[in-house]
Amino acid sequence: MSTAADAAILLDLDGTLVDPAGSITGGIAASLRLHGLPVPAPERLNALVGPPLREGLRSLEGVTEDNLPAVIRDYRAGYLSHGMAASTVYPGIRDALADLASEYPLVVATSKPQALARRLLRTQGLEDHFTAICGADDDETAPVPPHGTKVAAMAEALAAVGHPERAVMVGDRHFDLDGAAHHGIPAIGVLWGFGTRAELTGAGATALCEDPAGLPEMCRDLVRCGRRDRPAL
């Protein structure tokens, strides 16, 4: 059996473990309307699932450094009051996590604020599967780390399990794969989230997973290959 000293599995949260069920995109749209700001098309809203909220909002028309804190505040108020409860665990994820956790330490590495990520995982009954939950600064107006929030969360996640020689990152957006490349570990792109096959392949996914049922064996295969010996897609 692998231990924290030699292998670990890092996982993204929204779009990988939990389906936000429109709570992120709908919440952002509601906050923008509340502040009299234009609401972008659905595909543009979907693209905001993955990166840090602050960075995503700053890319939208009408959002400025002056109104950004209030837009975030009102979005979070709605998310906490009903959005979090509306989220659902993707079918098959509970079984996949139980399987993997029996063999490897699991760590969440998310761009979501850390306290909020922990609360979401607790609400969904997933918290106990994880050795650590690593995320962004709880102050969402704080500056983004030099290499980005996902890279910083993954650095914290790897440190939490003792910098294992072998690790795998699992996520649904190119941000997850970019973070894995920065840390020199293979990455599995999952196709049930918000990233397309083209996005994940273009970002250098080591492998693509169609269904959570196949995730444990895919993780084991990459762990067996070692940290830098990555099979081609």
What is the per-residue pLDDT for 139? 76
* Ranges of H-type helices in the chain: 23-34, 42-46, 53-58, 68-78, 84-86, 93-101, 114-123, 149-160, 174-183, 197-202, 215-225
Residue 229 pLDDT grade (very low, low, confident, very high; cuts 50, 70, 90): very low
CB 109 within 8 A of CB 70: no
Give the mean pLDDT of 46-72.
89
What is the per-residue pLDDT for 223? 93
What is the per-residue pLDDT for 152? 94
Residue 228 pLDDT grade (very low, low, confident, very high; cuts 50, 70, 90): very low
Does 228 or 137 have the greater pLDDT score? Answer: 137
pLDDT surpasses 50 at 24: yes
State phi, psi for 178 to the nearest 5 degrees. -60, -40
Per the structure block, which two tokens stand in for 180? 């894995």
pLDDT tens, position by position, 134-152:
999 877 666 666 767 899 9
**H/E segment holding residue 50:** none
pLDDT surpasses 70 at 2: no
Report the C-alpha gap between 186 and 168 in whole angstroms: 5
- What's the mean pLDDT when you consider all of the chain? 90
CB 168 within 8 A of CB 16: no
Query: What is the pTM for the complete model shown?
Result: 0.86
Residue 232 pLDDT grade (very low, low, confident, very high; cuts 50, 70, 90): very low
What is the per-residue pLDDT for 128? 97
Give the mean pLDDT of 213-230.
81
pLDDT surpasses 80 at 227: no
Classify residue 227 as exposed, middle or buried by CB count within 10 Å of its CB (0-12, 13-18, 19+): middle
What is the per-residue pLDDT for 52? 80
Residue 192 pLDDT grade (very low, low, confident, very high; cuts 50, 70, 90): very high
pLDDT surpasses 70 at 5: no
Amino acid at 110: T
Residue-range domains of the chain with CATH: 7-19+88-225 (3.40.50.1000), 23-86 (1.10.150.240)
pLDDT surpasses 50 at 185: yes
pLDDT surpasses 90 at 96: yes
